């Protein structure tokens, strides 16, 4: 009897191509995708680099040597700016806006006098990327100490070129005084929003996509049971049907996002009230784009079952690449770039700017524009795919 | 307006007293890949007429129905409603379509379904309320109007399915197997509803696999096979033009027959002899005598009046469900 049950189940699986695909192929596909996303970090060419801005108003011998040493670090990418022209405020602004992970500021001491080429050193960090700030702090400390020691050696070395044993002893004991060194968390330090705001956005966007694609399956259900025939035999056109469904999915998505963030505000202290403008703008375009994307998938598929597994693969892949599961800064450079082709990455960047960086609405222009345009493109694609259902 | 439409409209306008057909199917052709689904199908439906459309599976019925409601674009030919092409804006509003599947939202109540499809057909506010009220009364579900339709029996769902297609008072109603999977009582109820509509002037096209429905519930019968009309007329006309008035005699025998009785054919599927006679009283004794002569003993005997089933078999060579 048990054998019969096993045999029948196996035969049913064997005769069902979709289920066979889900059972044996999809896991391998997923494994490959995730291995590609998270496993490629070992490759030295694509190891994530810390993007750093440097400001040097001290213009001292130590700062110059330290900056030269930092520029040679493979783990850093110095922002392409004229270091001399960037002041502290600008460097802080770059960190705040997320243009760089951290900034190193070399400045003159408070009394204005640089002694032995030693500037004050500040590292401006963003606790969003805690790993970057810790690594950078260690690298900068080493570069500054080495530069200080070298300058001291140059100054105290005998003119004859012969180095005495007593001199070497002084240097090795670290006798040269070190510059004043300070690490400042420019965002997290004064923040009212806990880190949970960033993760709320990641999870919310992923579930928004899942719920939108599930709801868009009603279109396929209508097609399967001839309701679509009946709908299109009335005064309703395919344009109106798709727009109606898009509007509905957008509204439901916006309510869903609002519900999640309201819950986040109540339980996890996300400061929603002071960011309503940015939240509303991001939620509207994100929900609209998710609705368009869901309709595109629904019109592309032939059945609800097909929609189920296609959407699962696509959404989980996009969520992994786009940062809904793991922050993108942990991924390799190449995967971070690939992530920009996903819907999630732009949505998360937008929410991140609103809740973490607390930037004004005008700073969201890029994210809003990309999500709006992609939403429009998805909707047009859905309309084109739906042509085959109109008249055969 | 296409050339065909123009010609038809002009002809009807020019001859006083000739009524424009409610529905005209004019030389429809449709091919799907290597399959010719329709091969020049043509027929008409008069105003207030009830037409049964029959055909074996694969005869092109579904393609024809979908062409009539504008869901299939024929390669050639045209469908006209009251002389106007269905391709013209708003013309399809004269038609009500009742699909074979339950094309209703089962997670809506009966009332909500009716409101939805009424609105999609352009009904608003008071007119909508009145038609929904009428429809609920018509299908006998006033007391269950606010229940989800997924809790309804098959027959009740079918009635809601039909009501959703008639809210906008269509002049022509196209029903694709409206009684599939329905018990006899519900079938009766559905046909009573359709008769009521017909008496109000609605023309009805009905496809069915129940020959008794076609015989008793239609004024005219069309049989299609291989994508074209192979018979078109009233039941008695179809019988006289195919089988004639001859009766079918079916005889089951016992014993070993040394040869087949002359003039009789053997039906191997049912193990019986079949023949046709013009005069039962005169010819039947002769038939029985022939059987006895070849060693057979008659166990059972049936005499059938020609019916639609015989006509259908005669024309298509197939049972209706084949």
pLDDT digit string (tens) for B176-213? Answer: 988 888 888 888 888 999 999 999 999 999 998 888 88
Give the model's pLDDT for residue B34: 87
Q: What is the CATH number of the domain that holds B197?
A: 3.40.50.300
Residue B6 has pLDDT above 60, yes or no: no
Give the residue numbers spanning the domain of B223: 3-240
Q: What is the ipTM of this complex?
A: 0.78
Q: Would you call A235 and B122 a contact, using CB atoms and an 8 Å cutoff?
A: yes
Question: Do both B157 and B88 map to the same domain?
Answer: yes
Confidence category of residue B144, pLDDT binned at 50, 70, 90: very high
CA distances to B25, B139, B240 from B169, in Å: 21, 15, 37
- C-alpha B139/C-alpha B145 separation (Å) is 10
Q: Is the dihedral of CA B73, B79, B80, B84 positive or negative?
A: positive
Q: 3-state SS of A330-355?
A: HCCHHHHHHHCCCHHHHHHHHHHHHH
CA distance A224 to chain B (A): 9
CA distances to A70, A183, A293, A319 from A74, in Å: 9, 22, 39, 29
- C-alpha A336/C-alpha A323 separation (Å) is 9
Pick the more confident residue, B153 or A195: B153
Which residues on A lie below 8 Å from B165 (Cβ)?
Answer: 230
Confidence category of residue B9, pLDDT binned at 50, 70, 90: very low
Quick one: average pLDDT of B88-98? 90
- List the single range of A356-360, B46-50, B124-128, B260-264 with lowest mean pLDDT: B260-264
Question: Do both B57 and B115 map to the same domain?
Answer: yes
Pick the more confident residue, A390 or B94: B94
Residue B317 belongs to a domain = no
Residues in Cβ contact with B195 at an 8 Å cutoff, skipping those fewer than 6 apart: B217
Which residues on B lie below 8 Å from A232 (Cβ)?
Answer: 71
Give the model's pLDDT for residue B2: 41
Residues in Cβ contact with A204 at an 8 Å cutoff, skipping those fewer than 6 apart: A256, A257, A260, A261, A351
Pick the more confident residue, A118 or B147: B147
Question: Do both B164 and B262 map to the same domain?
Answer: no
Question: What are B255's two structure tokens?
Answer: 């014993």
Question: Do both B299 and B186 map to the same domain?
Answer: no
Read off the DSSP letter of residue B38.
E
Residue B61 belongs to a domain = yes
Which residues on B lie below 8 Å from A244 (Cβ)?
Answer: none
User: In chain B, what is the greatest distance between 2 CA atoms, to the nearest angstrom?
Assistant: 80
**Residue from A221, A231, A235 whose CB has the most chain B CBs within 10 Å, to mutate:** A235
Q: Which helix (H) or strand (E) element contains residue A78? A: strand A76-78
Give the model's pLDDT for residue B80: 94
Instruction: Go through A276-290 and write b for each residue having 16 or more CB atoms within 10 A of its CB, e for each that does not.
Output: eebbebbbbbbbbbb
Read off the DSSP letter of residue B48.
T
Q: How many domains does chain B fold into?
A: 2
- C-alpha B231/C-alpha B312 separation (Å) is 9
Q: How far is C-alpha A123 from the geometric centre of its chain's CA atoms?
A: 22
Angle at B78 between CA B72 and CA B82, to 5 degrees: 110
Q: Which of B37-46, B182-191, B235-244, B294-303 is most confident?
A: B37-46
CA distance A229 to chain B (A): 7
Question: Do both B65 and B188 map to the same domain?
Answer: yes
- C-alpha B42/C-alpha A378 separation (Å) is 42
Question: Do both B99 and B157 map to the same domain?
Answer: yes
Q: 3-state SS of B8-25?
A: HHHHHHHCCCCCCCCEEE
Residue B11 belongs to a domain = yes
Question: Do both B221 and B258 map to the same domain?
Answer: no
Task: Flag residues of chain A having pLDDT under 70.
Answer: 38-48, 80-84, 112, 155-176, 188-194, 392
CB B211 within 8 A of CB B218: no
Neighbours of A167 (CB within 10 A): 15
Cross-strand partners of A53: A103
pLDDT digit string (tens) for A40-91? Answer: 555 444 566 788 888 888 888 888 888 888 888 888 888 766 666 778 888 8
Question: Do both B79 and B130 map to the same domain?
Answer: yes
Give the model's pLDDT for residue A228: 92
Q: Would you call A392 and B71 a contact, using CB atoms and an 8 Å cutoff?
A: yes
Give the model's pLDDT for residue B16: 55
**Residue from A215, A217, A229, A244 whose CB has the most chain B CBs within 10 Å, to mutate:** A229
Instruction: Go through B118-137 and write b for each residue having 16 or more CB atoms within 10 A of its CB, e for each that does not.
Output: bebbebeeeebeebbeebbe
CB B159 within 8 A of CB B141: yes
Question: Do both B187 and B222 map to the same domain?
Answer: yes
CA distance A202 to chain B (A): 32
Residue B316 belongs to a domain = no
Question: Do both B151 and B290 map to the same domain?
Answer: no
Q: Would you call B93 and A235 a contact, using CB atoms and an 8 Å cutoff?
A: yes
Q: Given CB atoms, is A388 within the 8 Å cutoff of chain B? A: no
Quick one: average pLDDT of B92-121? 93
CA distance B229 to chain A (A): 22
Question: Do both B115 and B250 map to the same domain?
Answer: no
The answer, as to whether pTM is greater than 0.80, is no
Give the model's pLDDT for residue B98: 92
Which residue ranges form the domains of chain A, and what is each CATH number? 47-189 (3.40.1710), 196-390 (no CATH)
Quick one: average pLDDT of B20-48? 92
Question: Do both B149 and B179 map to the same domain?
Answer: yes
DSSP per-residue codes, B147-168: SBGGGS-HHHHHHHHHHHTTTT
CB A144 within 8 A of CB A179: yes
Give the model's pLDDT for residue A255: 94
Confidence category of residue B320, pLDDT binned at 50, 70, 90: low
């Amino acid at each position: 009897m048990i054998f019969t049950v096993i045999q029948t189940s196996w035969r049913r699986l064997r005769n069902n191509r979709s289920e066979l695909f889900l059972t044996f192929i999809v896991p391998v596909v997923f494994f490959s995708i995730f291995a590609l996303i998270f496993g490629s970090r070992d490759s030295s060419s694509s190891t994530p680099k810390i993007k750093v801005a440097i400001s040097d108003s001290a213009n001292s011998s130590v700062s110059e040597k330290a900056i030269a040493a930092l520029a040679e670090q493979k783990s850093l990418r110095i922002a392409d700016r004229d270091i001399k022209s960037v002041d502290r405020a600008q460097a802080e602004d770059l960190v705040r806006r997320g243009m760089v992970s951290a900034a190193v500021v070399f400045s003159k001491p408070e009394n204005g006098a640089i002694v032995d080429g030693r500037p004050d050193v500040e590292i401006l960090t963003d606790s969003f990327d805690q790993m970057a700030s810790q690594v950078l702090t260690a690298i900068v400390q080493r570069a500054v100490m080495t530069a200080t020691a070298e300058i001291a050696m140059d100054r105290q070395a005998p003119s004859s070129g012969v180095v005495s044993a007593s001199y070497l002893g002084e240097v090795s004991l670290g006798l040269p005084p070190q510059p004043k060194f300070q690490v400042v968390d420019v965002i997290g330090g004064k923040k009212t929003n806990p880190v949970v705001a960033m993760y709320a956005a990641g999870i919310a966007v992923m579930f928004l996509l899942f719920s939108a694609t599930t709801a868009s399956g009603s279109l396929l259900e209508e097609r399967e049971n001839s309701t679509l025939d009946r709908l299109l035999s009335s005064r309703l056109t395919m344009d109106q049907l798709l727009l109606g469904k898009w509007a509905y999915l957008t509204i439901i998505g916006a309510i869903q996002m609002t519900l999640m963030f309201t819950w986040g505000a109540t339980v996890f202290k996300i400061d929603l009230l002071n960011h309503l403008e940015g939240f509303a703008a991001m939620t509207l375009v994100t929900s609209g784009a998710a609705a368009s994307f869901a309709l595109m998938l629904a019109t592309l598929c032939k059945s609800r079952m097909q929609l189920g597994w296609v959407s699962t693969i696509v959404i989980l892949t996009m969520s992994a690449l786009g940062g809904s599961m793991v922050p993108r800064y942990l991924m390799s450079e190449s995967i971070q770039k690939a992530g920009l082709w996903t819907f999630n990455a732009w949505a998360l960047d937008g929410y991140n700017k609103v809740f973490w960086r607390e930037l004004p609405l005008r700073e969201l222009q890029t994210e809003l524009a990309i999500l709006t345009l992609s939403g429009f493109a998805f909707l047009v694609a859905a309309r084109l795919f739906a042509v085959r259902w109109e008249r055969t | 307006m296409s050339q065909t439409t123009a010609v038809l409209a002009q002809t009807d306008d020019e001859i006083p007293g000739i009524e424009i057909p409610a529905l005209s199917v004019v030389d429809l052709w449709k091919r799907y890949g290597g399959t010719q689904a329709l091969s020049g199908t043509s027929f008409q439906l008069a105003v207030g007429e009830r037409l049964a459309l029959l055909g074996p599976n694969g005869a092109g019925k579904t393609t024809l129905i979908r062409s009539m409601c504008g869901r299939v674009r024929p390669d050639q030919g045209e469908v006209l409603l009251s002389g106007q092409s269905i391709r013209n804006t708003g013309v399809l509003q004269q038609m009500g379509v009742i699909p074979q599947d339950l094309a209703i939202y089962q997670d809506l109540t009966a009332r909500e379904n009716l409101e939805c499809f009424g609105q999609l057909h352009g009904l608003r506010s008071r007119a909508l309320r009145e038609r929904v009220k009428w429809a609920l009364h018509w299908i006998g579900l006033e007391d269950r109007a606010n229940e989800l339709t997924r809790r309804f029996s098959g027959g009740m769902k079918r009635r809601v399915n039909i009501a959703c297609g008639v809210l906008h008072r269509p002049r022509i109603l196209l029903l694709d197997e409206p009684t599939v999977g329905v018990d006899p009582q519900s079938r009766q109820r559905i046909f009573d509803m359709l008769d009521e509509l017909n008496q109000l002037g609605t023309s009805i096209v009905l496809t069915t696999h129940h020959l008794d429905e076609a015989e008793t519930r239609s004024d005219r019968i069309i049989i299609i096979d291989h994508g074209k009309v192979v018979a078109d007329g009233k039941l008695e006309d179809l019988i006289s033009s195919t089988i004639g008035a001859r009766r079918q005699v079916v005889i089951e025998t016992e014993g070993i027959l040394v040869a087949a009785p002359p003039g009789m054919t053997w039906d191997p599927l049912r193990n019986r002899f079949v023949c046709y006679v013009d005069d039962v009283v005169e010819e039947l004794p002769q038939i029985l005598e022939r059987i006895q002569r070849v060693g057979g003993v008659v166990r059972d005997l049936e005499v059938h009046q020609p019916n639609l089933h015989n006509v259908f078999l005669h024309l298509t060579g197939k049972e209706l469900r084949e």
